[in-house]
């Protein structure tokens, strides 16, 4: 049997003759190996052991012959394999995403400000009026608190449009909220930036979007001056936008800074506003429990989209949030 099987497998020269030999010798029903196995029952007890050993020997010899033939014929059953398939060809590259330009900008800004010693801090996007207004010296009747200019959350209490109710919440309209949160938690000296989303119900156009990002900066120490503020902003601007960038401070008003300025950069011959800044108002220090006679500080808030747009020559803020890959892939 062993010799027959050996020669049958050795002489198999295509899939068909190989398959015929396989069925003839190792077939589960009519295979000759099976026949021999069936006869084992008739072997007298004292010879069973030797017969069993012999059978196993033959079995494994046949198996080896079968495998040798299989690999010689190219892997045995290749019926399901496409003969044109070439496993050595490089594969298809999977399409993977990449980092959104605004996230790239945020990382870049954190790096530049980090080099000047500003540590990144975060605050919640859903805020209470204390952090978004009250502690920032924005009084009850101030237009900045108007429901038409803010996204108040429709909690049961706030729905009444009684904006003084306990538990009232809104989507923060500025990252200045984080100034308050940090000063409530820490003691000076403080040197932080906070980059994140803010929300205002603006009609979207080329320069407005109801959600955008701000970079807030806060420095509190002894004897901080407006000159320090201007230097930090100038160093930042030249690092991010290039050495030839021109920066301008325009007198302005914010309830939480005194004096206050608006920060403009020259863009294609035009002064464009990038945000606000100023020296921390004593009322803000009082709200967080600092002594305004002991410490001074400055704060600034710049629009991240505008910075990104100026650096990359983007002309429509809506492109950043369109999800259009043809646009996003350029970054």
Q: Where are the alpha helices (DSSP H) in the chain?
A: 2-11, 15-26, 32-39, 48-72, 101-115, 129-132, 176-185, 226-241, 282-287, 304-312, 325-328
Q: State yes or no: residue 299 binds ligand PHE (CB under 6 A).
A: yes
Q: State yes or no: residue 300 binds ligand PHE (CB under 6 A).
A: yes
Residue 57, marked binder:
no
Q: State yes or no: residue 278 binds ligand PHE (CB under 6 A).
A: yes
Backbone angles phi, psi at 174, to 5 degrees: -160, 150
Q: How far is the CB of 159 from ligand PHE (least distance, A)?
A: 26
Nearer to ligand PHE, 129 or 276 (CB): 276
Which of 105, 233, 301, 309 is the binder for ligand PHE (CB under 6 A)?
A: 301
Nearer to ligand PHE, 196 or 301 (CB): 301
* Dist. CA 308–CA 106, nearest whole Å: 9
Instruction: Lay out the site mask for ligand PHE across 107-136 (x = CB under 6 A, - = otherwise).
Output: ------------------------------
185: tokens are 């938690």
* Dist. CA 290–CA 186, nearest whole Å: 10
Q: State yes or no: residue 257 binds ligand PHE (CB under 6 A).
A: yes
Nearer to ligand PHE, 92 or 203 (CB): 203
Backbone angles phi, psi at 232, to 5 degrees: -60, -45
Stretch that binds ligand PHE, among 3-11, 39-47, 204-212, 269-277 (CB under 6 A): 269-277
Stretch that binds ligand PHE, among 6-14, 65-73, 275-283, 309-317 (CB under 6 A): 275-283
Is 212 within 8 Å of 274 (Cβ atoms)? no
Stretch that binds ligand PHE, among 2-10, 36-44, 235-243, 273-281 (CB under 6 A): 273-281
Stretch that binds ligand PHE, among 33-41, 49-57, 81-89, 274-282 (CB under 6 A): 274-282
* Dist. CA 317–CA 190, nearest whole Å: 33
Nearest to 283 by CA among 142, 167, 150: 142
Which of 18, 133, 236, 254 is the binder for ligand PHE (CB under 6 A)?
A: 254
DSSP assignment, residue 211? E
Q: Where are the alpha helices (DSSP H) in 133-281?
A: 176-185, 226-241
93: tokens are 């590259």
Beta bridge partners of 249: 263
* Dist. CA 134–CA 45, nearest whole Å: 100
Q: Of all residues in the chain, what percent are helix, strand and coil, respectively (each to 5)?
A: 45, 20, 35
Which of 182, 219, 277, 304 is the binder for ligand PHE (CB under 6 A)?
A: 277
Q: State yes or no: residue 174 binds ligand PHE (CB under 6 A).
A: yes
Which of 105, 132, 169, 176 is the binder for ligand PHE (CB under 6 A)?
A: 176
Q: How far is the CB of 174 from ligand PHE (least distance, A)?
A: 4
**Residue bearing tokens 């920066």:** 247
Is 69 within 8 Å of 271 (Cβ atoms)? no
Of 4-23, binders to ligand PHE (CB under 6 A) are none
Binding residues: 258
Where does this chain bind ligand PHE (CB under 6 A)? Answer: 174, 176, 254, 257, 275-278, 299-301
Binding residues for Mg(2+): 258
């Amino acid at each position: 049997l062993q010799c027959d099987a050996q020669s049958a497998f050795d002489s198999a020269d295509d899939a068909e003759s190989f398959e015929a030999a396989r069925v003839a010798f190792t077939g589960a029903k009519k295979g000759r190996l099976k026949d021999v196995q069936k006869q084992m029952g008739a072997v007298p007890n004292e010879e069973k052991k030797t017969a069993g050993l012999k059978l196993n020997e033959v079995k494994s010899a046949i198996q080896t012959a079968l495998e040798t033939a299989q690999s010689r014929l190219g892997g045995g059953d290749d019926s399901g394999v496409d003969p044109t398939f070439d496993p050595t060809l490089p594969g298809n590259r999977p399409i993977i995403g990449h980092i959104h330009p605004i996230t790239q900008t945020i990382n870049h800004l954190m790096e530049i400000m980090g080099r000047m010693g500003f540590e990144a801090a975060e605050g919640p996007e859903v805020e209470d009026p204390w952090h978004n207004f009250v502690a920032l010296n924005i009084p009850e009747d101030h237009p900045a608190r108007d429901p038409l200019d803010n996204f108040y959350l429709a909690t049961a209490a706030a729905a009444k449009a009684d904006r003084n109710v306990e538990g009232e919440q809104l989507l923060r309209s500025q990252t200045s909220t984080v100034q308050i949160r940090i000063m409530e938690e820490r003691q000076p000296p403080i040197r932080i930036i906070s980059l994140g989303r803010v929300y205002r119900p603006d009609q979207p156009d080329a320069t407005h979007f109801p959600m955008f990002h701000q970079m807030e900066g806060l420095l509190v120490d002894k004897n901080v001056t407006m000159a320090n503020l201007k230097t930090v902003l100038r160093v930042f601007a030249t690092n991010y936008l290039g050495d030839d960038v021109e920066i301008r401070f325009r007198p302005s008003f914010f309830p939480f800074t005194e004096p206050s300025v608006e920060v403009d950069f020259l863009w294609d011959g035009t002064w464009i506003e990038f945000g606000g800044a100023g020296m921390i108002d004593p009322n803000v220090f009082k709200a967080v429990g600092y002594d305004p006679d002991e410490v001074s500080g400055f704060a600034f808030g710049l629009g991240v989209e505008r910075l990104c747009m100026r650096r990359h020559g983007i002309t429509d803020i809506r492109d950043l949030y369109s999800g259009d890959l043809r646009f996003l892939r350029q970054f």
